[in-house]
Structure 1
Amino acid sequence: MNKIRRIMEMLFISVCILCILGGCGIVDDFRSEKDLVDYNSTYGVSDGEYTITLNNTMLEAKAIDDGAGNVYMDVNTANKYYNSRIYWEEDENCVLYATPEGMAQYMPDSTTYTVGMTSAASSIPVVINRNGMLYISLDFIKENTKMDSAVFTAPNRVVTRTNWDDAYMTTVTGKKAVIRYQGGIKSPVFRDLERGEKLYVLDDGAGDEWAQVVTEDGYNGWVENEDLDTPLMTALEEPEFAEPVFTGISKNYKINLAWHGVYSEAANEELGQILTEVPGINTISPRWFYFANTEGDMVTLGSADYVNTAHAAGVEVWAMFSNEFTNFDGEMTNEILSSRSKRQHVLNQLSGWIDEYHLDGINLDFEMIGESGADNYIQFVRELSALCREKQIVFSIDNYTPMYWRHYNHKEEGIFADYIIIMGYDEHHTGSDVAGSVASMNFVRQGIEDMLAMVPKEKVINAIPLYTRVWATDANGVVESFNAGMTEAAGYLESHGVTPVYDENTGQNYGEYTSEVDGRRYQIWLEDQTSLRSRLEMIQEYDLAGVASWSIGWESGPEIWQIIASYFN
């Protein structure tokens, strides 16, 4: 009995010691491996890999190291999430990076690189090749991007931030708080939390026992609410970063541009007459350059005499360069832009024509670019921008309203182009299955505001339509339409005895009739002096860089150009 009593006393003393040690937190040092998150297994991290957390969210991609402690990120992830200027030139298997000093080129596993025509060296390779994938140094990304980053080991993880909006944060108050993989006392633990430690709050639990949080060293998990202070909105401190400055041209007057649809060399001879009928414009953009094939060969309809005539009238010439083949074709365009040699071939042709015709600018009108070609397109924009800077001419880019084409990198365009022109029309177009306005006032306003969120107003020009569409709907609801200029569209209503009325929804004059010939319902939202003045007043309201008009020949007469000029000259 004495022996049993001694055993029971020893067990009781042991339990008491464990309780005391646990109260001091010492027992945590002896937490079983099974109580801890198997980080590498949970997140699929192999040797030499690192998880990547961006703005409190873990990315699917993994970073790697080079075996010497230098961390690299694959170029696709770097381009998509951190810096779109990082461009993988796949046909030459290198990375290009646009700088104010010229295009930098980094070959895999080399410590030498070029910027323009100048050679330079780095302490480690900026780019490395691993199993056919290119990776770029995290140090390079951080040096060239407004971001914070930190690298942690055991387990390996990279924690980054590019967003500094106010964040919901809390402070650890519990003495023995831990962050767990999931909510619940049985869930495995990432690590202990220090009292006073700051945490980002993703979900405070709204009265539940657990809150979802992210630690500043990148653990995303759950903490008991009783161990946390009341979450508060907190201002984050942004890192210091000097954005590179790319030079450009900014006119000291408002742009009043008109596009000239040139479809043959003979059309250039119309310019003298046009200038007498289109008073007040200070810029004209003739459709001159377009692709002949997917090798990058181009067609020119340019004329030095045309430019001389325009200059004599005090008008600049920004020649339009479009991606027309038989029609605008994004896939065929991408066949050219995805190749560095083809892009250079295009630039070489443009360079010669800029000199030959004494151009004042290039107006880039590439349409129907798909998401798969967006990176190649913006790289071409950077390279064409460099050519225009070298030639000291204006570089402008035509864009759809952003709401429909958000994969276009408008912010980057606004850095490399001198002017961004919003094509503020085609709200309803030839492919629309319902009738509607070409450009209602709300549509125009949204396009301007969306673009101004990405591009400074000093660079934004809003383009207005001098045409509308005539819509015909049959008894089965099938819709067809065709373009009509101002005079032609108004003539349809007049010939059917229809007096247009003002439509509050679109801010335009509207008329409709049923044809006695085909029985279809015809609807027309007019482009006229009413819609014209509304758009011009909107451009003034937002203090934009000017106006562009599509296109010469659609207007009802010289009075249209006089009205436009009265707002800008």
Structure 2
Amino acid sequence: MINGRKKLTYKRILKLVLSGVVLLGSVTSYNTNAAQAASATQQFQDISNSYARVAIMNLVNKGIAAGTTDRTFEPKKAVTRAEFATFAVRVLGLKPVKNNLNPYQDTSSNAWYYGNISAMTNLNIMEGKGQGIFQPNANITREEAATLLVRMLKQQVGSTGLLPYTYADAFLISSWAKPYVQAVYQLGLMRGSDGYFRPHDQVTREEAAVMLDAILQNKAWSEQLQTPDQLGIQLGWQYDSTTAEFKQQVQQSEVNTLVPRWFFLNSSMQVTDHTDSTLLTWARSTGREVWPLLGNRSNPTLTHQMLSSATNRANVISQVVAYVKKYDLHGINVDFENVQPADREGLTSFVTSLATSLHAVGAVISVDVSPNLGTDWTAAFDYARLGAVSDYMVLMGYEEHWNGDPIAGSVASLPWVEQGLETMLTDVVRSKVILALPLYTRDWSSRNPATSSWDITLGEQGMRAKAQGSVRQWNASLAQYVIGYSSSGIPRYIWAEDSRSLTAKVRMSTARNIAGLAYWYMGGETSDVWNAISNANRFESYVF
């Protein structure tokens, strides 16, 4: 047992060596892990005298950190911005995201750290050093580390009035960093030594280890980090793909609810059946539900013929229910578009009766609707009444600017989607709302946007963005890149949908605790978006 004088000296030394890093929990709590410290000493020859040896081994055992070689950790070596981003991704239990659209000009998409930097950028945890510049190999400073720790833990920042009384060098802290330094001090994760914070000093590997391990040693925080993902409904529409292609698309995604385009109205008031039993068998074997689409092919005349007649409505409902029973379907996705305002009551009656009939056979009903902008396009949809009788309302959060629009612009900017969702939630309970996101965008002509513009996949978007002479800039207010390039001498523009823009929309919607997300359409995406969506769902679920 240490006597009083030696104990005091040890604390002073520890305080100085930590250089502003404070452990969460007492020093003795780390001493109880002596076995781990011994193991760390055996693995790495250069950490036996490090105050951080237990923290280092904790992170190594969890796969968060690794040595610089098999036998060395180099605890005094400075940590780069890329390395800290990598540590942060692993502590938060996130996935690397190799964004198809590279956020930074000075970061190679082939670099080992690219996926981690992109993941942190998508979530607004880590920022560049200016438009398109990240400086991945620059050493991270203490004020930058403070900012990252606070953002990782989703902590609010506020007043900085106490900083001048806390640190003699408070005037050296960058203005943007002051709220974070104040917050990280209050969290107990970083504090200065001898009244100094030293904001521009580099963070060493052992300092970083203690900072990050302190997060894991906090029981409330670590419990959050260990919770399994709760994605809710993840609905994917099949479009222009074979069953084999659709299955492959679903396997690469987070989708757990399939919507193949199987049932459509025809002029004889018959519901055509394009069911593929092999997809049903596969979905059941993989634990996924199938809610085939019942569509009107955007034909207002045909739709009026059905909705305006009680006999026709009943006939269609009986056919749909027969298919549900025949194929043992989990549900039906009603996709009636371009419905006339005069058919508002007929549509409500149809959905009400169909819901009753589907519930009687154990199936659910979801109804696709556009954002309510008070126009004729959505006048036929009584959102409150449809939401009351259906199991789910799927808000198609796209077509802010549509094919044929005389004005070029975003397919789904964040403010527009957010407004549409907020409006929906005034009529429909959040547990019934599914937000559909676009896995496509539009290539716009600056000269003739209405007639010389077309839809493109995210893969096609990426090829244009990487073409010689193209330019790209992040628009923070829209939460999208705007890409510009020239074709045949005519400037063209793309308001991009990618991992970064989709992350913003997923976080916005997940924060509102809705039932889930949907994607139009499967196969339009690039593979990176699924890790981005998973990260957004997971990070937004944390309540630190």
| Candidates 329, 339, 345, aligned match of 1:375 | 345
Q: In percent, how many aligned pairs have the same letter?
A: 30
Q: 1:392 to 1:477 in 2, by over 3 A?
A: closer
The count of residues paired between Structure 1 and Structure 2 equals 306
Matching of residues 88-167 of structure 1 within 5 Å: none
Q: 1:434 to 1:464 in 2, by over 3 A?
A: same
Is 1:276–2:248 an aligned residue pair?
no
Quote the residue 2:473 is aligned against.
501
1:564 Cα deviation after fit? 2.3
Is 1:399–2:372 an aligned residue pair?
no
The 2-side partners of 1:477 and 1:283 are apart by: 35
One-letter amino acid of the structure 2 residue matched with residue 564 of structure 1: I
One-letter amino acid of the structure 2 residue matched with residue 367 of structure 1: E
Unpaired segments of 5 or more residues in structure 2? 1-229, 539-544
Quote the residue 1:24 is aligned against.
none
Q: 1:319 to 1:554 in 2, by over 3 A?
A: same
Q: 1:406 to 1:338 in 2, by over 3 A?
A: closer
Quote the residue 1:260 is aligned against.
238
Is 1:321–2:291 an aligned residue pair?
no
1:491 Cα deviation after fit? 1.1
The 2-side partners of 1:342 and 1:420 are apart by: 24
One-letter amino acid of the structure 2 residue matched with residue 494 of structure 1: K
1:385-412 deviation digits (Å, cap 9, x = unpaired): 1111111111101100111424410000
The 2-side partners of 1:493 and 1:568 are apart by: 27
1:253 Cα deviation after fit? 6.6
Tell me the secondary structure at the aligned position of residue 287 of structure 1.
coil
Quote the residue 1:440 is aligned against.
413
1:483 Cα deviation after fit? 0.7
Tell me the secondary structure at the aligned position of residue 355 of structure 2.
helix
One-letter amino acid of the structure 2 residue matched with residue 332 of structure 1: L
Quote the residue 2:496 is aligned against.
526
The 2-side partners of 1:444 and 1:478 are apart by: 22
Is 1:291–2:260 an aligned residue pair?
no
State whether residues 473 and 479 of structure 1, in contact with CA within 8 Å, keep that contact through their aligned partners in structure 2.
no
Tell me the secondary structure at the aligned position of residue 331 of structure 1.
helix
Tell me the secondary structure at the aligned position of residue 480 of structure 1.
coil
Tell me the secondary structure at the aligned position of residue 427 of structure 2.
coil
Is 1:514–2:489 an aligned residue pair?
no
State whether residues 283 and 316 of structure 1, in contact with CA within 8 Å, keep that contact through their aligned partners in structure 2.
yes
State whether residues 334 and 377 of structure 1, in contact with CA within 8 Å, keep that contact through their aligned partners in structure 2.
no
Is 1:547–2:517 an aligned residue pair?
yes
One-letter amino acid of the structure 2 residue matched with residue 381 of structure 1: V
Matching of residues 205-224 of structure 1 within 5 Å: none
The 2-side partners of 1:308 and 1:422 are apart by: 29
1:478 Cα deviation after fit? 6.2
Quote the residue 2:435 is aligned against.
462
Pairwise CA RMSD:
1.9
Q: 1:477 to 1:560 in 2, by over 3 A?
A: closer
One-letter amino acid of the structure 1 residue matched with residue 361 of structure 2: K
1:373 Cα deviation after fit? 1.1
**TM-score, structure 2 length as denominator?**
0.54
**TM-score, structure 1 length as denominator?**
0.52
Tell me the secondary structure at the aligned position of residue 489 of structure 1.
helix
State whether residues 397 and 420 of structure 2, in contact with CA within 8 Å, keep that contact through their aligned partners in structure 1.
yes
| Candidates 386, 398, 403, aligned match of 1:430 | 403
Q: 1:366 to 1:497 in 2, by over 3 A?
A: same
One-letter amino acid of the structure 2 residue matched with residue 385 of structure 1: A
Q: 1:477 to 1:528 in 2, by over 3 A?
A: closer
Quote the residue 1:354 is aligned against.
324
Q: 1:477 to 1:385 in 2, by over 3 A?
A: closer
1:94-138 deviation digits (Å, cap 9, x = unpaired): xxxxxxxxxxxxxxxxxxxxxxxxxxxxxxxxxxxxxxxxxxxxx
Tell me the secondary structure at the aligned position of residue 500 of structure 1.
strand
Q: 1:490 to 1:270 in 2, by over 3 A?
A: closer
| Candidates 314, 317, 323, aligned match of 1:344 | 314
State whether residues 502 and 508 of structure 1, in contact with CA within 8 Å, keep that contact through their aligned partners in structure 2.
yes
The 1-side partners of 2:359 and 2:474 are apart by: 46
Tell me the secondary structure at the aligned position of residue 263 of structure 2.
strand
Tell me the secondary structure at the aligned position of residue 236 of structure 2.
strand
| Candidates 389, 410, 420, aligned match of 2:383 | 410
Is 1:451–2:424 an aligned residue pair?
yes
State whether residues 323 and 366 of structure 1, in contact with CA within 8 Å, keep that contact through their aligned partners in structure 2.
yes
State whether residues 330 and 373 of structure 1, in contact with CA within 8 Å, keep that contact through their aligned partners in structure 2.
no
Which structure is larger by alpha-carbon Rg, 1 or 2?
1
Flag the structure with more relative contact order, 1 or 2, with Cα contacts below 8 A and sequence separation at least 6.
2
Tell me the secondary structure at the aligned position of residue 291 of structure 2.
strand
Quote the residue 1:99 is aligned against.
none
Quote the residue 2:531 is aligned against.
562
State whether residues 262 and 268 of structure 1, in contact with CA within 8 Å, keep that contact through their aligned partners in structure 2.
no
The 2-side partners of 1:481 and 1:459 are apart by: 35
The 1-side partners of 2:450 and 2:367 are apart by: 35
One-letter amino acid of the structure 1 residue matched with residue 463 of structure 2: G
One-letter amino acid of the structure 2 residue matched with residue 273 of structure 1: Q
The 2-side partners of 1:268 and 1:370 are apart by: 33
1:261 Cα deviation after fit? 1.5
The 1-side partners of 2:513 and 2:414 are apart by: 17
State whether residues 395 and 434 of structure 2, in contact with CA within 8 Å, keep that contact through their aligned partners in structure 1.
yes
The structure with the largest helix share of the pair is 2
One-letter amino acid of the structure 1 residue matched with residue 243 of structure 2: N
State whether residues 365 and 392 of structure 2, in contact with CA within 8 Å, keep that contact through their aligned partners in structure 1.
yes
State whether residues 511 and 524 of structure 1, in contact with CA within 8 Å, keep that contact through their aligned partners in structure 2.
yes
The 1-side partners of 2:341 and 2:412 are apart by: 25
Is 1:366–2:309 an aligned residue pair?
no
Q: 1:282 to 1:567 in 2, by over 3 A?
A: farther
1:446 Cα deviation after fit? 0.6
State whether residues 262 and 287 of structure 1, in contact with CA within 8 Å, keep that contact through their aligned partners in structure 2.
no
Matching of residues 7-26 of structure 1 within 5 Å: none
1:157-184 deviation digits (Å, cap 9, x = unpaired): xxxxxxxxxxxxxxxxxxxxxxxxxxxx
State whether residues 499 and 533 of structure 2, in contact with CA within 8 Å, keep that contact through their aligned partners in structure 1.
no
Quote the residue 2:445 is aligned against.
472
1:343 Cα deviation after fit? 1.3
State whether residues 296 and 336 of structure 1, in contact with CA within 8 Å, keep that contact through their aligned partners in structure 2.
yes
State whether residues 250 and 522 of structure 2, in contact with CA within 8 Å, keep that contact through their aligned partners in structure 1.
no
